[in-house]
């Protein structure tokens, strides 16, 4: 599988550890993508209904492709004890990839704002803690700061109101341990801009086999500081 266009925005050596487009020691591109579960018509219909009801919140007509979900999951380190929170799980495309990647269900917490989608996720992933809530309230939802090592976000940051995005980015930085990762996809294909001064972009890669194509970006948490949400 040829790696898609990849660049390292900063820290060229350290960036190898945050690889989203090239193989690393644990998650090689040559590691075959696990077989996805059979797409469920009910899941797709639910996703579409949610989009029609809340287009700004959902941000897409259909769930992420298997390839995009796998690329997100591959950017999460598989160190023992690694704790992950997934934001905006929808019908569970990325959740499934994270579990297939080898993350123990007990190490994963999911936060989703739609009650319908939360009910669906709880049925689909009974071993995973699924919280019905707003990602902007992450610190309260997870019980305090420094509670996870990676944040995996499918939130449509480009369609949400800027003040809400600022609150989400601030909360994600607060719950992440110093040096923890924020993994975010976007339908904006340009290199990731400055999400906030709290986060340093270290790697990104394009995923063409998604409708529309997307870019997965990896940011490292720099901790508290003046918040400036950018592109
Ligand atoms: C683009 S969909 C991604 C769904 C799924 N992860 C995927 O990749 O197919 C975005 C999801 O984020 C959820 N969402 C939007 N704003 C949210 C917020 N502030 N807090 C938690 N979830 C939110 C929406 O309900 C929706 O399920």
Beta strands in 81-175 (DSSP E): 84-87, 108-112, 129-132, 148-153
* Tens-digit pLDDT profile for residues 128-139: 999 999 999 999
- Which helix (H) or strand (E) is 50 found in, with range? helix 41-53
* Tens-digit pLDDT profile for residues 1-17: 333 333 333 343 344 44
Asked whether residue 27 carries a pLDDT value surpassing 80, the answer given is: no
CATH of domain 6-221: 3.40.50.150
* 86 — pLDDT class (breaks 50, 70, 90): very high
* Residue 123 neighbours by CB distance under 10 Å: 10
3-state helix/strand/coil string of 122-133: HHHCCCCEEEEC
User: Is there an atom of ligand 1 within 6 Å of 155 CB?
Assistant: yes
Matching residue, tokens 């986060």: 199
Asked whether residue 118 carries a pLDDT value surpassing 70, the answer given is: yes
How far is the C-alpha of 103 from the C-alpha of 95, rounded, in Å? 10
pTM of the model: 0.86
Distance between Cα 59 and ligand 1 center (Å): 8
Residue nearest to atom 27 of ligand 1 (CA): 90
Sign of the dihedral defined by the CA atoms of residues 68, 69, 72, 77, in that order: negative
């Amino acid at each position: 599988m040829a790696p898609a266009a990849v660049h390292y925005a900063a820290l060229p050596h350290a960036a190898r550890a945050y690889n989203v487009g090239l193989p690393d020691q644990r998650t090689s591109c040559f590691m075959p993508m696990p077989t996805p579960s059979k797409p469920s018509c009910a899941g797709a219909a639910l996703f579409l209904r949610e989009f029609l009801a809340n287009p700004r919140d959902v941000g897409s007509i259909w769930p992420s492709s298997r390839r995009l979900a796998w690329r997100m999951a591959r950017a999460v380190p598989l160190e023992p004890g690694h704790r992950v929170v997934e934001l905006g799980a929808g019908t569970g495309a990325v959740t499934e990839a994270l579990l297939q990647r080898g993350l123990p269900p007990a190490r994963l917490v999911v936060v989703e704002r739609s009650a319908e989608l939360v009910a669906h996720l709880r049925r689909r992933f009974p071993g995973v803690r699924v919280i019905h809530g707003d990602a902007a309230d992450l610190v309260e939802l997870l019980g305090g700061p420094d509670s996870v090592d990676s944040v995996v976000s499918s939130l449509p940051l480009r369609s949400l109101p800027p003040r809400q995005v600022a609150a989400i980015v601030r909360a994600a930085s607060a719950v992440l341990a110093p040096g923890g990762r924020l993994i975010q996809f976007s339908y904006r294909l340009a290199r990731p801009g400055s999400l906030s001064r709290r986060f340093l972009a270290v790697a990104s890669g394009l995923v063409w086999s998604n409708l529309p194509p997307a870019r997965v970006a990896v940011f490292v948490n720099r901790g508290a500081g003046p918040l400036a949400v950018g592109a």
